[in-house]
Amino acid sequence: MSMIRGDLTALSPEELKAGLQGTDWQLFLRLVYHHRLYSVLYLKMKELNSAIIPAVVMESLRQQYTVNTFRMLHLTAEMEQVCGAFRERGIRNITLKGPALAHDLYGDVSMRTSKDLDILIPFDDVEAAEGILATLGYISKEGERAPTVRSWKWREHHICYTHPVKRTQVEIHWRLNPDSGKETDFELLWKRSRFSSYTQTPVRMLEQEDLWAYLVTHGARHGWFRLRWLLDIDQMIRSMPLDVKKVERRLKAEGRLSIGSQALHLASDLLNTPLDVEYRSLMSLSDRTGKRLANEGAKFMNEMLESPADMKSYQSYLFKLRSTKQKWFFFIERLYPSTWDVDQLPLPRSLFFLYFPLRPFLWFWRRIKRYTVTERGKV
């Protein structure tokens, strides 16, 4: 954390040596790789130029930095091809993260890591986008969905595709969030969107205020278990002239003020992010809940799990992120059939209405089977 914040740059060589004495460098590297911060830390540590940092540590970071630079350049080419293909077929699209975000925040795509491309499109264009991706060689990670179950588009918010040759991954979003809560309509997001200054071909990004609201919601949903996401928030606050009142109105309209407060508490406490009067006002609108959620997020950071879903407390945490209205909707949507129900008990189309009364029994059946398999594994 001291290196990320830049606390060590002002130290004398003697003070720096004393501060780094006894560092567990193997654990340090594990943390760096887990939080996907090798690019940022490599450049910061290179500036320190301290002999106490083992050469093997610097070389490991340098290799990861180089690999990530080439990966981001590869993703850039793929982003332009996919977005261009959509645009040529009349599908409006907004890239959410990836290389465009890295350049937007840091001015250098090598400073941020990305494993995939996240692209937002209109709800009605999902099937057409699937066809275009298929022509580009992409296949769905989820496999074939049952064509008779049409609830998947409102129960879910994206589909993931991979390219077996290029080894790239594309996520097509028709919603920004999976919680089925209220969020800004695509038409309005499109109207407010802007062009990325990074690419030669036109690639659209979210407006800065929409982007901030999206990134804090995304980070909160994942429990902030990678510090990279929090560093993005810190960078936006430090370098972008955001209209905080706009952000506040959008978070409030979607019932996510507590999430905004959580992000500001974490950034301020962990990264010393400077918060002006407007940011502090936003943080105070849901201060108590924001602090509580920030403490839970810090726990997920410390565990170094590949997914916080492995922790028993994660589902409870996710439920706490929801507004009252979102919690009610969560219970209602549980009543609707899913593709799991169809796979478990295939019925002819004429009898699909039976999935509604059968759903509680099918759900209970799956739980019993899962429990039985788990117990057998223990034995």
DSSP character string of 155-193: H-SEEEEE-TTT--EEEEESSS-SS------HHHHHHH-
Q: Could you tell me if 349 and 148 are in contact, meaning their C-beta atoms sit under 8 angstroms apart?
A: yes
Q: Beta strand pairing status for 94-95 and 158-162?
A: unpaired
Looking at the domain assignment, is residue 64 inside a domain? no
Looking at the domain assignment, is residue 322 inside a domain? yes
Which is it for the CA torsion 48, 51, 53, 57, positive or negative?
Answer: positive
Looking at the domain assignment, is residue 63 inside a domain? no
Question: CA 121, CA 131: separation in Å to the nearest integer?
Answer: 14
- Shared domain for 254 and 367, answered yes or no, is no
- Shared domain for 276 and 372, answered yes or no, is no
Q: Percentage of residues in the chain with pLDDT exceeding 70?
A: 87
Looking at the domain assignment, is residue 353 inside a domain? yes
pTM for the whole structure = 0.84
Mean pLDDT of the chain: 87
Which is it for the CA torsion 116, 82, 179, 192, positive or negative?
Answer: positive
pLDDT of residue 220: 94
pLDDT of residue 348: 81
Alpha helices in the chain (DSSP H): 2-5, 13-20, 25-34, 38-48, 55-88, 98-106, 126-135, 152-155, 186-192, 208-221, 227-239, 244-253, 257-271, 277-284, 287-303, 313-321, 324-333, 339-344, 355-378
- Shared domain for 80 and 190, answered yes or no, is yes
Q: How do residues 312-369 score in pLDDT, each as one tens digit?
A: 788 888 877 876 666 555 555 666 666 667 777 788 877 777 777 777 777 667 777 7
- Shared domain for 296 and 374, answered yes or no, is no
Residue-wise burial string across 25-38, b where 16 or more C-beta atoms lie within 10 A, e elsewhere: eeebbebbebbbbb
Token readout for 92 is 């409006």
Which residue would you say has higher pLDDT here, 87 or 375? 87
Q: How do residues 250-267 score in pLDDT, each as one tens digit?
A: 999 988 999 999 999 999
In the predicted structure, residue 284 carries a pLDDT above the cut 80: yes
Looking at the domain assignment, is residue 211 inside a domain? no
Structural domain count, the chain: 4
- Shared domain for 150 and 233, answered yes or no, is no
CATH code, domain carrying 101: 3.30.460.40
Of 53-67, 224-238, 348-362, least confident by mean pLDDT is 348-362
- Shared domain for 353 and 245, answered yes or no, is no
Question: CA 94, CA 178: separation in Å to the nearest integer?
Answer: 17
Phi, psi of 334 (to 5 degrees): -65, -20
Q: What distances in angstroms separate CA 239 from CA 31, 36, 106, one per listed residue? A: 26, 21, 9
Confidence of residue 74 (pLDDT cuts 50, 70, 90): very high
Looking at the domain assignment, is residue 66 inside a domain? no
Q: Could you tell me if 276 and 234 are in contact, meaning their C-beta atoms sit under 8 angstroms apart?
A: no
- Shared domain for 368 and 273, answered yes or no, is no
Instruction: Give the mean model confidence (pLDDT) for residues 280-305.
Output: 91
In the predicted structure, residue 373 carries a pLDDT above the cut 60: no
Q: Within the chain, what is the greatest distance between any pair of CA atoms? A: 79
Instruction: Give the mean model confidence (pLDDT) for residues 202-209.
Output: 96
pLDDT of residue 350: 78
* Closest among 186, 184, 183 to 174, alpha carbons compared: 186
Region for residue 223 given its phi and psi (left: phi exceeds 0; alpha: psi -120 to 50; beta: otherwise): left
The residue from 310, 329, 348 where one domain ends is 329
pLDDT of residue 305: 78
- Shared domain for 125 and 244, answered yes or no, is no
One-letter amino acid of 277: V
Looking at the domain assignment, is residue 139 inside a domain? yes
- Shared domain for 250 and 176, answered yes or no, is no
Which residue would you say has higher pLDDT here, 88 or 345? 88
- Shared domain for 178 and 117, answered yes or no, is yes
Q: Percentage of residues in the chain with pLDDT exceeding 90?
A: 62
pLDDT of residue 155: 60
Q: Could you tell me if 325 and 255 are in contact, meaning their C-beta atoms sit under 8 angstroms apart?
A: yes
Question: CA 204, CA 188: separation in Å to the nearest integer?
Answer: 14
- Shared domain for 315 and 358, answered yes or no, is no
Which residue would you say has higher pLDDT here, 359 or 374? 359
Tell me which residue range forms the domain holding 43.
1-53
In the predicted structure, residue 154 carries a pLDDT above the cut 70: no
Looking at the domain assignment, is residue 215 inside a domain? no
